[in-house]
A and B are shown apart, each in its own frame.
Chain A
Amino acid sequence: MPELKINGTEKSAEIKAEYKKFIGRKIMFIFATTILVIIIAGIAATLGPHQISITEVYSIVWYGIPKILQNLDFILTHSFKDFSLTYFTKEESIIWFLRLPPIVMAILAGIGLGIAGTTMQGVVRNPLASPYTLGISSAAGFGAALAIILGAGLATGQNIIIAVNAFFFALCSSFIIYGISRYKGVSPETMILAGIALMYLFSAMTGVLQYFGEEKAVAEVVYWMFGSLARASWDKLFVMFIVLIICIPLIMLKSWDLNALSAGDERAKSLGVNVDRTRVVCFMLASLVTAGVICFTGTIGFIGLVAPHMCRMIIGGDNRYLIPASGLFGAIVLLSASILARPPIAPSFIPVGLVTAFLGVPMFLYLILRRRKEFW
């Protein structure tokens, strides 16, 4: 019998080593995607009518940061733009004011939508869920349409009003779903059905607005809904960043509980997880992230659905690693899409929201076709 025991211990050690390797691979994946984000961002920053090489880009960003920090009091007393006129060369201004904002927005929006997607899928235990499943995108679209069509001719602060309206209505839909599920029980079915109902309601209301709207404004709404990074600016990015930096760590803290939900509500409850609260809190956090992103970008589809799946195929379903991984993966997809959205025959752009679909669907189908096992 002693021999058998040794065998047993060896086996355990083997499994442990393999498990550690498994974890190591997940961490490596996250690390690699981070590097890739930085590289693609660098490439994206070299594209444009002015020839600026990739090393110049990195050095402008690298030396720009201390330059900004040293002159912080000038920026606060004057403005960021005065600062640029006074201290920046034209190349520096181009990088900092024209090229970086859309790139940073692509990164933040990709992270936000990827993470919100993973969270939503976990919350409703449904792999077909996305940040938009529960009516958030159509609610945000309605908010934007309201501002664009009814506010036509209202010039002062129009950009902020559109964003605030989209944000507000996106959260509105979430609060309605929250209210319904508190009344009727926080089950995935209730949430999904309420979400679908709201989606149709808000789409219909947007339709009414478009029907009676002026043609120019209607075209504007359609364009808004395609999703675009062109509206990026540092103040918007700051707001987006604040939303993400508050919500994402809170979602990550819930990753164990989301894992537990995956085994079913009863099992999760038995593991000591407060299922209803986890579901509501994660759902609200994911909604907030989504709203914080799409109020500035418009509805950029697909990333929230696809990034979690792709990462799940690569590193498995453990939310502790899946959440950051799908965020970074989302950033990669959106960044690449923003590069492809800029065809050689400028100045004709394809809305980045559409490119994500063209880019994402083939990747997604490829992974589905070559996978060897069931993933959900």
Chain B
Amino acid sequence: MVKLEVKNVKFRYTSVPILRDVCIELAESEMLGVVGPNGSGKSTLLRCIDRILTPQEGCILLDGQDIKEMHLMDLAKKMAYIPQSTTQVFPASVFDTVLMGRRPHIGWRSSEEDIEKVLETLKLLNLEDLAMSDIKSLSGGQQQKIFIACALAQEPKILLLDEPTSSLDIRHQLEVLDIIKNSVVEKGISAIIAIHDLNLAARYTDRIIMMNGGHIYAAGVPSSVLTPENINHAYGVEVDVINHNGKLYVLPIRPVAKM
């Protein structure tokens, strides 16, 4: 089990800061949602955590070790990041795409064990029928599942997902998040999900961080974060939050001036 700590991270591309002093601690087997309006720094935060971007200040510790000092391959064995949109330029079979996830674990040749791992993942995600199809011939929802399969084949301890459901229909949204949730539960891994849909966030995550302007504006269990006041403040939208069958739903009413 690994423990992730994000300490006082500050990041800016040019002079405009994107992240101003962000601190997060991720518990074991936790599904953490990151919400916030566009440009609030959600994606940047995920990229910083996976060392795709390097923060100017602050540090990210994985089991107490600064990720800046870790070997890229070792980091890749512990964390997998799935970007919002993955565009595969060249043809590749689903099997090969998932096998790619084994990259941190293998050299030039893939072993029998890697093939078994791929088969296992395909089965877990119920993708076996697609195994030999070309990824570019599949729908967006199927492709997203395959990229998640690829990330799972990587056997990370932490999954980082940037808007995994943004371009999917409602059924695929649920399927994909179910897959992630199941993996978190079954494999005992943690996940950080940047997500726009507050209802899905409320439904699937254990804890939510609400970001606004590079700060963490609110953090805690969904019911404590997703309050009409917080949402009004962060998004500038008037909402109703209702409880239906024990689940939280956010109903937008109209945009208003930010409080």
Contact = CB atoms under 8 A, between A and B. Distances in A.
B82 interface: yes
Interface string A261-284: 011101101111110000000000
A238 interface: no
Interface in A285-333: 312, 316-318, 320
B223 interface: no
Contacts of A272: 72-77, 103-104
Given A18-B131, A274-B72, A318-B96, A267 B86 contact: yes
A312 B136 CA distance: 13
A264 B86 CA distance: 6
Interface in A173-207: none
A16 B115 contact: yes
B158 to A, nearest CB: 11
Contact of A8 (B72, B123, B151): B123
Contacts of B132: 15, 18-19, 22
Q: Is the interface of A mostly helix, strand, loop or mixed?
A: helix
A125 B104 contact: no
B199 to A, nearest CB: 27
Contact of B134 (A11, A121, A373): A373
Contacts, number: 124
Given A12-B123, A22-B132, A253-B108, A262 B89 contact: yes
Contacts of B50: 269-270
B86 A256 contact: no
Report the contact-size class of chain B (Cβ under 8 Å from the partner).
35 or more
Contact of B136 (A12, A15, A264, A374): A374
B119 A316 contact: no
B144 interface: no
Interface of B: 47, 50-52, 72-77, 79-83, 86-93, 95-97, 100-101, 103-104, 106, 108, 115, 119-120, 122-123, 128, 131-132, 134, 136-137, 147, 150-151, 154, 160
Which of B73, B96, B97 gathers most chain A CB within 10 Å? Answer: B96
Nearest to A270: B81
Contacts of B103: 256, 260, 271-273
Given A266-B83, A317-B92, A260 B108 contact: no
A18 B130 CA distance: 12
A317 B90 CA distance: 6
A267 B153 CA distance: 14
A19 B95 contact: yes
21 contacts: A12-B120, A12-B122, A12-B123, A18-B132, A19-B115, A22-B132, A126-B89, A252-B108, A256-B108, A263-B100, A264-B83, A267-B86, A269-B52, A270-B76, A272-B72, A273-B103, A316-B93, A373-B91, A373-B136, A375-B91, A376-B91
